[in-house]
Structure 1
């Protein structure tokens, strides 16, 4: 159901407010500089406390709160007249098989410290006047007491890191080619007369890289256009109109699964009780879906100048010996005792609350938070943390406030005023377990607790496997490590390609080694794109936002206070 707004307001929100003018680009750049600087700050905290032993290891909750405070402090130092500014994505530290969402409060029992060999993805975001820069970067925790690791990370996790990093860098280069179509590698073009960067081209490149490194693209990975206040923060809450982007789900693994379904010894057929694998026609008995607002993702789009994209690629290694499905477990981290810590305010909902604590919490959220995700710590009087004051005392005050806010949280979530963001993890389900599952509801089955857009109810349509049946298979799944890289890229007609977050000039990837290498016809195109990025004279010009000089920022703040 579309929101009832006038055509004039629609034109203002979706078109005029998304023109990549110099003023808008400046806001994007500042948001990008903040995300870059915060990532550098968090990596330095992890290095000092875990690798160099300069400080007692910070817990995940402490690191998340320090990072969030860092972002909010920098946001407050500029654009004083802009009301809508702040944290676009709370800092999450997703460990090993976690995909996204792990950002514990200080009071949570699931609060953990990292161990050597852990794969940790730092995810964060910042917005200035609704213009958003998101960032995710995967690092490896190595043994303490070392100024540098003695050797690279090996095995499946290393394959995933290589694949996700290479795919992200390649897609960013492809997006830059949208401003210089003549530099698109000919091997990627089916028709040389039509030189455009399309969604199908992006999918082909990422799929090929994943296959070359024996990895699966984790569902929820995407390359999507973002706009003012529309950066994917409310996915699963509202359906974004005129969505533009490539989205990967379980269905993208289905064809490969079917090719690998016949074992040489016939064990798959024997275990499932079937001698033949029946394939269901997903269009049979279903009317064509009318979608005038283009809410369902499709690869049939062209990347254009003046747009901003997020490149969010997640990879997980595949078992060499046994075929299977890589899927997402939205069990909210119950196996770790993790609680909901990140919430979205559904502004379309309005309810009368009974409890005083609930009314106070709702009032604070409506007053201080935007449409972006938030945590209970954000509405504490002690947030953001002040580096000039006693840190332990401030943490204790925030911890006390969070305990009080939790008394009113339940009613707010029950009334659907706050929508909790799940802690997603990655699971590998063997194919033999998938083939055992009967689906009596066929193409009409769906998961009421996790509703999908029309036409996307079936994660595995050819096998007739519904979302609800797939959810029951999670008990047979085993955790699999995930590597994730996310960058935000602005394609300005005047300033060129501006990489707001990420980039190897600013952040070098962790030391890993993979036994695989890129293969197939796409390999030449990837190498050609990498050469173009390194060619400063005739190649692709990608301007990366750099880490801010914090001493200059502090001096500027002192001058303004005087």
Structure 2
């Protein structure tokens, strides 16, 4: 049974380019129409991602102990935590595949290796065995972003969540010490609150398309009748302004398809009805320059032609951006990724947040090399090295078009764990050594695209976009929240109402971090959206996929190395 009616199917396919090939119509059109089978795959991907996130959050809670301090560096490093999380997810996927029957040709795997990014890191932090850069160790009150992705047959559930790491031994009350745990405050708290509330409000905004009270919907959308990119951009920037933070370039709210979950820097999506509201660095720079110039021009009582032209250019830029955003229309039956990053930069002088390649903590000039890669399937080359050919085959089998680390595709979880226990810095498994020898040829010929380790830095308005000042500093507080949602229409829901099926995030795995900001949201429309999500009777209906229990997860992981069973351990 299809979950989207025939008319809705035709409406969705009608959006697509008439120039698509028959294969594109099947893979990008028909394969993305919601059906019971497609929804089952999304559900399973969501549950695996949620379970992985819950596991990593547990590791973060255990990463500090009574003995840890800035001198001993005891506990698990960021690299060790990320690799442990990736191994756990691989075992989950392998175990569930041994328990549940797969369709012929169905792929299952990670849509993204586990990343652990603290403070100002924004991309690429998934250190591998033997890397000199292991992401550092965690300390009390560190702001940490966890990023995870899982796909079932290309149907993807991705999640990111910001956690505040606490050394709870520090706050244990005793007769001698009555010190109590205090929430994180200041710029980190502002960023965390902004990212969390913007993400939650966006889930509600998207939900207006399928679960609405007519009067509330019309009022919240300004009579527009549908959710557009302009509503999305306005909401995010209003929240950022309320908390006096900035949206980090790379943030986006976009529709996703099977095998197209956001990796558009690798998979070409021209003419594929790409729906996306994004905050990119180039446009943010241009907007700020025009805004500053227009403000100066507007302060002049008698304007020259040049000053009038400056004001006109700024107005034209805004109108052009709004027109583009208006072309992004959210429809029932679609799957959307909400991915918002906020950074708490200085309040003055005028400036912006930019992304820069991490240069390392010292002045050695040795930039930590990337450890995450993606396969560019459009590039073909006759490889010379046997190691490169072997690695390409393993990536094609185990990673498809999704980002990966070398150990993820060449090592089994058990071999990876054995390497971890031996001494990851000094002893590298032979398979991984061979992969590291082969990856250079694949990168040189653009078959693999590396994801550099990146940080968010503050750039005063006087500096040009090419500046790398601050790229060695990871202290800028950045928070990130990412959820994947399916917009199930009311006309075909079994209970007769529309519903947002939230694959990732939510109250169990995505609880807000313990912070306190002196700022708050005052915008009535955003507050109303947040209120409607909590209204179970007449508001926006959100059903969240829950993680497996610890018992269920252990059973599935155990099944990874056990004979196939008949009963499902995760449903």
Q: Answer whether contact 2:419 2:428 (CA < 8 A) is retained.
A: no
Give 1:51 deviation, angstroms: 5.1
Alignment of 1:320 with 2:320, yes or no, is: no
Structure 1 residue aligned with 2:394 = 364
Structure 2 residue aligned with 1:70 = 88
Q: Answer whether contact 1:500 1:544 (CA < 8 A) is retained.
A: yes
Mapped partners of 1:559, 1:364: distance in 2 = 24
Q: Answer whether contact 2:290 2:310 (CA < 8 A) is retained.
A: no
Give 1:501 deviation, angstroms: 0.4
Structure 1 residue aligned with 2:505 = 502
Residues 551 and 363 of structure 1: is their aligned pair in 2 closer, same or farther, counting only changes over 3 Å?
A: same
Q: Answer whether contact 1:178 1:305 (CA < 8 A) is retained.
A: yes
Structure 2 residue aligned with 1:19 = 33
Q: Answer whether contact 1:61 1:105 (CA < 8 A) is retained.
A: yes
Q: How many residues align?
A: 498
Mapped partners of 1:313, 1:327: distance in 2 = 15
Residues 492 and 185 of structure 1: is their aligned pair in 2 closer, same or farther, counting only changes over 3 Å?
A: closer
Residues 187 and 327 of structure 1: is their aligned pair in 2 closer, same or farther, counting only changes over 3 Å?
A: farther
Q: Answer whether contact 1:234 1:344 (CA < 8 A) is retained.
A: no
Mapped partners of 2:419, 2:403: distance in 1 = 28
Give 1:181 deviation, angstroms: 3.8
Q: Unpaired runs of 5+ in structure 1?
A: 265-274, 284-288, 290-295, 435-469
Moved more, 497-506 or 222-231: 497-506
Structure 1 residue aligned with 2:421 = 392
Give 1:175 deviation, angstroms: 1.0
TM-score normalised by the chain length of structure 1 = 0.80
Residues 485 and 277 of structure 1: is their aligned pair in 2 closer, same or farther, counting only changes over 3 Å?
A: farther
Mapped partners of 2:524, 2:34: distance in 1 = 33
CA deviation vs aligned residue, 1:73-94 (integer Å, no higher than 9, x gap): 2112135424311000111111
Structure 1 residue aligned with 2:337 = 310
Give 1:533 deviation, angstroms: 1.6
Residues 386 and 327 of structure 1: is their aligned pair in 2 closer, same or farther, counting only changes over 3 Å?
A: closer
Structure 2 residue aligned with 1:343 = 373
Alignment of 1:132 with 2:184, yes or no, is: no
Q: CA-atom RMSD, angstroms?
A: 3.4
Mapped partners of 1:489, 1:52: distance in 2 = 40
Mapped partners of 2:295, 2:26: distance in 1 = 57
CA deviation vs aligned residue, 1:505-535 (integer Å, no higher than 9, x gap): 443211111111113xxx2122222222222
Alignment of 1:91 with 2:114, yes or no, is: yes
Structure 1 residue aligned with 2:265 = 235
Structure 2 residue aligned with 1:206 = 236
Which of 138, 141, 149 is 2:165 aligned to?
A: 141
Structure 1 residue aligned with 2:126 = 103
Structure 2 residue aligned with 1:151 = 182
Give 1:255 deviation, angstroms: 4.4
Give 1:476 deviation, angstroms: 6.5
Q: Counterparts of 1:252-291 in structure 2 under 5 Å?
A: 252=284, 254-255=286-287, 259=291, 279=310
Give 1:198 deviation, angstroms: 1.2
Give 1:482 deviation, angstroms: 1.0
Residues 118 and 550 of structure 1: is their aligned pair in 2 closer, same or farther, counting only changes over 3 Å?
A: closer
Q: Counterparts of 1:7-46 in structure 2 under 5 Å?
A: 7-46=21-60
Which of 61, 68, 71 is 2:79 aligned to?
A: 61
Residues 167 and 257 of structure 1: is their aligned pair in 2 closer, same or farther, counting only changes over 3 Å?
A: farther
Give 1:45 deviation, angstroms: 1.1
Residues 154 and 203 of structure 1: is their aligned pair in 2 closer, same or farther, counting only changes over 3 Å?
A: same
Q: Answer whether contact 1:116 1:143 (CA < 8 A) is retained.
A: yes
Give 1:297 deviation, angstroms: 6.8
TM-score normalised by the chain length of structure 2 = 0.79
Alignment of 1:249 with 2:319, yes or no, is: no
Residues 353 and 36 of structure 1: is their aligned pair in 2 closer, same or farther, counting only changes over 3 Å?
A: same
3-state DSSP of counterpart to 1:310: strand
3-state DSSP of counterpart to 1:508: coil
Structure 2 residue aligned with 1:463 = none
Give 1:276 deviation, angstroms: 8.7
Q: Answer whether contact 1:358 1:407 (CA < 8 A) is retained.
A: yes
Residues 423 and 236 of structure 1: is their aligned pair in 2 closer, same or farther, counting only changes over 3 Å?
A: farther
3-state DSSP of counterpart to 1:314: strand
Structure 2 residue aligned with 1:81 = 102
Q: Answer whether contact 2:120 2:455 (CA < 8 A) is retained.
A: yes
Mapped partners of 1:280, 1:410: distance in 2 = 49
Structure 1 residue aligned with 2:538 = 538
Give 1:500 deviation, angstroms: 0.4
Mapped partners of 2:389, 2:261: distance in 1 = 29
3-state DSSP of counterpart to 2:213: helix
Give 1:67 deviation, angstroms: 1.0
Q: Counterparts of 1:438-453 in structure 2 under 5 Å?
A: none
Structure 2 residue aligned with 1:182 = 213
Give 1:368 deviation, angstroms: 2.9
